[in-house]
Each structure stands twice: as C-alpha cells, then as structure tokens.
C-alpha cells in the first residue's frame, strides 16, 4: 500500500501496481501518486462538490462531457479504470474513483449501488418499466457504467425484447423508454438511498 496525502489533508491509500504506467499531459511518464495528485488538482475545475458530481454523473450527456473534459486534461477513461484497481475498487464505477480522489468517499461496488438505490428508482416507475430497468441494472453491474450510455439503449432494447416490435405496449413508445433510461440514472447516483421503501 502507498499512502498519499492530498491538499485537503486527508490520506488516500493506493495499492502499488507495477504494470500500470501513467503519463502526464505533456506525455512524460509519471508515478501513480503523481497522477493522483495531478487529478486531484484538476477536479475542482470540473465540479465543486459531491452533489454536483452526482448530478453530472447521473445524466448520460453531462457524464460524457465530464469524461471528455477529463480526457482533455490528460485523464483518459483507461487510466481512470486503472485507478479503480489501485484503490481496490475493481467492481465500482469511475464515479467512485472521482469521489474517492476528490472527497475521500469510500467506493462502493456497482451491485451495492444498485441494491441501495433500486427501491428509490422503482418508486418512480410502473412494473413494465421496472422490469426493463432491472435488466439494464443487471448489465450495469456486470459490464460497468458504459452500459448507461445513450448509444447502448438500442442494444439493450434488442437484447431484452429482440425487436422494437416486441416491446410491450405498457412500456411506452421508444421516446418514453428513452426518457425512462435517462431519468432513472439520476436516482442511481443520488445521495439519497431508497432503503425501507417497497421493492427492496
């Protein structure tokens, strides 16, 4: 374990992984600790607090813009995925990496996030939508946050229903499914958890 202290005075623990090479924005190789310190220094330009990070990450378009902003600063998705290993959070989300580096928040697994938030999510949707979202959430748990990109929606619909014609009428139109797919993500990343609600 490598412990690094960031400017907030709090320590972050990293597992030493010798197979990963990090690069500075100028293309020079840097240590993992330097990469984390650089990332920590840039994150306040992208969001001011955990609530703002949750809001940005909870919408596919703003999440994509945030990831693009990070990439522009030299922090690509591949490197952020490597950081998940270093903070012992392979089953977590890149959201947890950003939250841990910025605010020293403990990462949780994607499965834990789904279990914590599913009651809150399901409170907002009828049974046919819940069944579809259950399917989407299962993909999120196994594959990661990329499954929540808007570009993935047609593939998810096809995987669940085979063709658009086979979508149950109660699920609504393609536009309504799109709204459900976009809308539930804010609840998945909200600071509020749905414990104690029906549907646990």
30-82 pLDDT, tens digit per residue, is 888 888 999 999 999 999 999 999 999 999 999 999 999 999 998 999 999 98
Kindly report, residue by residue over 3-37, the tens digit of the pLDDT.
777 878 788 887 766 656 788 778 888 888 888 99
The pLDDT score that the predictor gives to residue 193 is: 62
Proportion of the chain above pLDDT 70, given as a percent: 93
What is the C-alpha to C-alpha distance for residues 74 and 68, in angstroms, rounded to an integer?
A: 10
Which residues partner with 2 through β-bridges? Answer: 14
What is the C-alpha to C-alpha distance for residues 163 and 154, in angstroms, rounded to an integer?
A: 9
| Sequence-separated (6 or more) residues with CB below 8 Å from residue 188 | 58, 113, 114, 117, 121, 137, 140, 148
Instruction: Confirm if 135 and 141 have CB atoms less than 8 A apart.
Output: no
As a dihedral over the C-alpha atoms of residue 38, residue 110, residue 146, residue 169, rounded to 10 degrees, the angle is: -150
Kindly report, residue by residue over 182-196, the tens digit of the pLDDT.
999 999 999 876 443
Q: Read off the pLDDT of each residue in 138-145 and give the average, rounded to a whole number.
A: 96
The pLDDT score that the predictor gives to residue 109 is: 97
């Amino acid at each position: 374990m490598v412990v690094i202290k960031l400017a907030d005075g709090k320590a972050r623990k990293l597992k030493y992984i010798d197979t990963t090479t990090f690069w500075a924005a100028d293309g020079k190789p840097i240590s993992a600790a330097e990469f984390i310190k650089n990332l920590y220094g840039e994150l306040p330009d992208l969001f001011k607090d955990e609530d703002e990070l949750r809001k940005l990450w909870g919408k596919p378009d703003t999440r994509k813009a945030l990831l693009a902003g990070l990439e522009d600063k030299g922090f690509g998705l591949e490197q952020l995925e490597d950081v998940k290993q270093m903070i012992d959070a392979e089953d977590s989300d890149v959201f947890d990496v950003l939250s841990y580096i910025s605010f020293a928040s403990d990462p949780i697994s994607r499965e834990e996030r789904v279990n914590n938030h599913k009651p809150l999510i399901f409170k907002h949707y009828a049974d046919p939508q819940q069944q579809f979202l259950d399917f989407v959430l299962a993909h999120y748990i196994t594959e990661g946050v990329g499954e929540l990109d808007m570009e993935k929606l047609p593939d998810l619909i096809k995987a669940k229903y085979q063709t658009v014609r086979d979508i149950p009428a109660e699920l609504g139109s393609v536009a309504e499914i799109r709204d459900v797919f976009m809308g539930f993500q804010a609840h998945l990343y909200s600071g509020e958890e749905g414990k104690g609600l029906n549907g646990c």
